[in-house]
A and B are shown apart, each in its own frame.
Chain A
Amino acid sequence: MTRKQKRLALILGLLLVLGVATALILSALRNQIVFFFSPSELLTRGDVAGQSIRVGGLVETGTWVKEGENNTFTITDGDKDLKIAFTGILPDLFREGQGIIAEGKLGSDGTFVATNVLAKHDEKYIPKEIEDTLKQEGHWQGQ
């Protein structure tokens, strides 16, 4: 191969890999991302059944029911409520009256089946999505 051909082969190889990588990233960005909603946003949308999403809100006092490893509770953004079912161990700082994020899918009966629940890590830390939602809905009590 001549010098020119060698260089051409290298450049074509580079372009091929870059093209494949771009295609992969774009298709993954379309299909593999998870949207975050507040209960009100979620309930006004009809197109989310069976899709993996994240919801966030405050756990309503008096709604947490625990039967062994099965938990149900209701979260609210002050406007709409959403019932959540979760099997497993809730985070150490999961409490009623506090902000949480649940990841999972909305079932056909209107209950959100969570595969993972995130809560505050410590007294100062609150998931940013929750803080924003609370501020948006006018329920924010922090600084």
Chain B
Amino acid sequence: MSIELGHFAMVLAFALAAGQAIVGMLFWQRDSVTPILQQASLLTFILVAIAFAALLQAFALSDFSVALVYEYSHSQQPLLFKLTSVWGNHEGSMLLWVLILVIFGAALAVFGRNLPTDLANLTLTVQSAMIAAFSGFILFTSNPFLRLSPAPLEGRDLNPVLQDIGLAIHPPLLYLGYVGLSVCFAFAVAALVSGRIDAAWARWVRPWTLASWMFLTLGIAMGSYWAYYELGWGGWWYWDPVENASFMPWLAATALLHSALVMEKRNALKVWSIFLAIVAFSLSLLGTFLVRSGILTSVHSFASDPTRGIVILAILAVIIGGAFVLFALRANALKAGGVFAPISREGALVLNNLFLATGVVAVFVGTLYPLLLEAMDGQRISVGAPFFNLTFGALMVPLVLLVPFGPYLPWKRADLSGVVQRMVWAMAATLVVWLIVAFTLQSGATLTTLGLLLGTWIVVGAAADILDRIRLGRIPLGESMRRLTGLPRTAWSTAIAHFGLGVSILGIVIVSSFQTENITTLKAGESLEISGYTVTLSGSKTYQGPNYVGDAVGFAIVTPGGSNAEAVSEKRVYTAQRMPSTEAAITNFGFSQLYLAIGDQDESGAWVVRAWFKPYVTLVWIGALIMAAGGLLSLTDRRLRIGAPKPARTRQKAEAA
């Protein structure tokens, strides 16, 4: 297969998607176009897959006559890194973006078979319009299929920071999340055009939101861990604009997950859910624009030229602007749904949405204000962690306090004192755990103890929710066990996802408050002390890697308990462009990590060593994994696989039973 075949397939995909979008817009009311649109979506998927495979092959075979392969790859790279180099650059990463867009388009064609005609046609139409826009963007401004003549003998190699297993995992997961939200967006537009906005809509959107949210959660967590171990700065979140760009869609998707629940069960919050679906994907597009246009500087910016930024901005303006105009025109036509008391499941979910949405606004302002200020009066500022901790952090405190209440509250109206009575054991348990922790730390009401209280409260609250549902202690144990196995999966998935959130919060609070750091210079045989650990530099040696020369520095670690461990930190110089890179030595001790990064070696042979002890840092990412597991479990719920919802009355009866 040649790169020209890939190029040709891409051109065909562009033309097909554009034609499909036009046909869809003209004839979306007709039953007869549904199979045409579905076939076209599947065919576009095959064409883009061929284009992507052609590029993969060119990288795998190190065909340096392809400009992109020459620029971002090297013949001595291991095969995995050759393949991941495909998206380690602007053009290839946009192609991956479009590949995932067509995958979702095809999935919509396959899984959307039981949708009503208008929704099925309109979602496929919106999806194909976006595919046309972005494949056009690739062909006209960022073509990855260009040849070089004469072909160079060796490639320029990929940025060493990207030569890591992280590049194989983080971008695809994150893009699956970003782009998955395009389906929710397509559903929102379809609902506005067709006027079909009801509980069934929420049920159809829910699996797509869940899947996107799950991938976003994993993608962000993976990106955070990658930055943590690769950059050698020992931090796992910098409030970097690009991180924020992925965090905002996540917050919006989280809000949408919760508001769609209210819409599905109670037929309320309809306008708001549609709005959130549009906002969530708009924020994904904004993220793509911020990262790909080069207006931000970060590890994610590839070399870029300004015309691309303008084209992405134009696509963005059409998609987002069009959706909001449509929203403004049609939202009034929607009838208000069921009413509910402020103290009820709906009320709690509204509060959840309120805090998440204001959280998005806070992050949005902090991310874009510097750009705006510079454009307006040339003043250059940066907005860092203090801003986000004060605004976003403060907004999350009440939300986190409320999380455990949600699952206890019944729909429509709740008796608060009754709910508090059922939760009294959870509250008591939280307080006891927290008092023990605060007492051992010898500290009073500080931010640290507040954070620990919140984290413990969520973890205990999630467990207590399950125990309350099986009525442990109030009915015979055997009966409780029977209820345990009979619990609906959504009950489990809620509890698991909330539990994961608590675990992450605990990890964040503990590592932020109690990490220690030590910077010093060490010769072979010398040691440093950190948090009771003794780290001795045992020696260093130079070795030849596949496409780099490395200095490996060995460390012998003695734990406070007296056991031994070894770790190796590396400094590499990648030969193609003489690019240096460091690999930190990270050793796990339970949930905690000892993080050793090395600097330069001086004339006397001593190395600069920066050591951190990171207590319970892995909980930050383990919590995210648990949250994603909760999402996955919810995705397997039978309710989501059944197309049309049952009438409300029989459903309530079934639940009551």
A: residues with CB less than 8 A from B are 1, 3, 6-7, 9-10, 13-14, 17-18, 21, 24-25, 27-29, 32-37, 54, 66, 68-69, 87-90, 92-93, 121-125, 127-129, 132
Choice from B350, B382, B395 contacting A34 with Cβ under 8 Å: B382
The residue on B at minimum CB distance from A1 is: B341
A21–B388 Cα gap in the complex (Å)? 12
Q: Contact at A54–B382, with CB atoms within 8 Å?
A: yes
Is the C-beta of B161 less than 8 angstroms from some C-beta in chain A? yes
**Interface status of B519 (Cβ within 8 A of chain A):** yes
Docked CA distance A54–B384 (Å): 11
- Structural contact, A33 and B351, CB atoms closer than 8 A: no
* Closest Cβ neighbor of B610 among chain A residues: A89
Chain A residues lying within 8 Å of B339, measured Cβ to Cβ, are 3, 6-7
Q: Determine if B391 and A21 form an interchain contact, defined as CB atoms under 8 angstroms apart.
A: yes
User: What 5 pairs between A and B have smallest CB-CB spacing?
Assistant: A89-B599, A36-B380, A68-B521, A32-B387, A21-B358
List B contacts of A17 (CB < 8 A): 354-355, 358
B409, chain A: closest CB distance, angstroms: 15
A43 to B: closest C-beta gap in Å: 16
Q: Which residues of B contact A92 (CB under 8 A)?
A: 579-582
Whether A33 touches B382, Cβ cut-off 8 Å, given contacts A28-B391, A89-B232, is: yes
Q: Give bound CA distance, A121 to B297, whole Å.
A: 10
Residues of B within 8 A of A32 (CB): 383-384, 386-387, 390
Of the 9-residue stretches B15-23, B109-117, B361-369, B624-632, which lies at the interface with chain A? B361-369
For residue A26, give the distance in angstroms from its CB to the closest CB of chain B. Answer: 9
Give bound CA distance, A17 to B121, whole Å: 40
State A92–B299 Cα separation when bound (angstroms).
14
Residue B380 contacts which of A68, A93, A129 (CB distance < 8 angstroms)?
Answer: A129
A68 close to B297 (CB less than 8 A):
no
Given A6-B342, A68-B606, 7 additional A-B pairs, CB 8 A: A13-B354, A17-B355, A21-B358, A28-B387, A32-B386, A34-B382, A121-B159
Residues of A within 8 A of B521 (CB): 68-69
**Across the interface, do B382 and A69 meet the contact criterion of CB distance under 8 Å?**
no
Q: Which residues of chain A are near B29, meaning CB under 8 Å?
A: none
Tell me whether A36 and B381 are in contact (CB under 8 A). yes
A35-B379 contact in complex given A21-B362, A89-B232, C-beta closer than 8 Å: yes
Q: Could you jot down 22 A-B contacts, CB within 8 Å?
A: A17-B354, A17-B355, A24-B390, A24-B391, A25-B365, A28-B366, A28-B391, A32-B383, A33-B381, A35-B380, A36-B381, A54-B382, A68-B606, A69-B520, A87-B519, A88-B519, A88-B599, A89-B519, A92-B582, A122-B159, A125-B297, A127-B297
B519 touches A69 (CB 8 A): yes
Q: Are B369 and A34 in contact (CB under 8 A)?
A: no
From A10, A13, A28, A128, give the contact of B390 (CB < 8 A).
A28
Residues of B586-619 contacting chain A, CB below 8 A? 597-600, 602, 606, 608, 610
**When the two chains form their complex, are residues B579 and A123 in contact, meaning their CB atoms are under 8 A apart?**
yes
Q: Which residue of B lies closest to A95 (CB)?
A: B580
B318-358 interface code vs A (CB 8 A; 1 in, 0 out): 00000000000000000000011110000100110011001
Q: In the bound complex, do residue A24 and residue B362 qualify as a contact, i.e. CB atoms below 8 Å apart?
A: yes
Among residues of B, the one whose C-beta sits closest to the C-beta of A123 is B577
Tell me the nearest residue of chain B to A35, going by C-beta. B381
State which of B297, B351, B380 has its C-beta within 8 Å of the C-beta of A13.
Answer: B351
Contact A25 B598 (CB under 8 A): no
8 Å CB interface, B298-328 against A: 299, 301, 303
Cβ-based interface call for B394 (8 A) = yes
- In the complex, which residues of chain B have a beta carbon less than 8 angstroms from the beta carbon of A3? 339
Q: Specify which of A6, A13, A89, A123 is in contact with B608 (CB 8 Å cutoff).
A: A89
Would you call A25 and B382 a contact (CB within 8 A)? no
Complex contacts, B580 vs chain A, CB 8 Å? 92-93
Chain A residues near B365: list those with CB within 8 A: 25, 29
Which residues in A have their C-beta under 8 angstroms from that of B380? Answer: 35-37, 129, 132
Question: Nearest chain B CB to A134's CB is how many angstroms away?
Answer: 14
Q: How far is the CB of A73 from chain B (nearest CB, A)?
A: 14
Most A Cβ at <10 Å: residue of B366, B380, B579, B581: B380
Contact A68 B608 (CB under 8 A): yes
Q: In the complex, what residue of chain B is closest to A34 when comparing beta carbons?
A: B382
Digit string of B551-579 for contact with A (CB within 8 Å is 1, else 0)? 00000000000000000000000000101
Tell me whether B602 and A68 are in contact (CB under 8 A). Answer: yes
* Given A13-B351, A68-B521, A89-B608, residue A124 in contact with residue B303 (CB < 8 A): yes
Instruction: Collect the chain B residues with CB atoms within 8 Å of residue A33's CB.
Output: 369-370, 381-383, 387
Residue contact A14 to B297, C-beta cutoff 8 Å: no
A residues in contact with B602, CB < 8 Å = 66, 68
Chain B residues with Cβ under 8 A from A18's Cβ?
Answer: 358
Return the contact of B350 from the options A10, A54, A88 (Cβ within 8 A).
A10
Given A89-B519, A121-B299, check contact A34 B383 (CB 8 Å): yes
Instruction: Name which residue of chain A comes closest to B347, CB basis.
Output: A10
B296, B394, B581, B597: which contacts A89 (Cβ < 8 A)? B597
A89 and B598 contact, Cβ closer than 8 Å, known pairs A25-B391, A68-B606, A69-B519 = yes
CB–CB A9/B342 < 8 A: yes
Give the complex CA separation of A133 and B341 in angstroms: 57
Q: Which chain B residues border A14 with CB–CB below 8 Å?
A: 354
Closest residue of chain A to B303 (Cβ to Cβ) is A124
Contact of A122 among B382, B391, B579 (CB under 8 A): B579
Instruction: For the complex formed, measure the closest distance between the CB of B365 and the CB atoms of chain A, giving whole angstroms.
Output: 5
Question: CB-defined interface of B268-297 with A at 8 Å, one 1/0 digit per residue?
Answer: 000000000000000000000000000111
Q: Which of B391, B579, B599, B606 contacts A90 (CB 8 A)?
A: B599
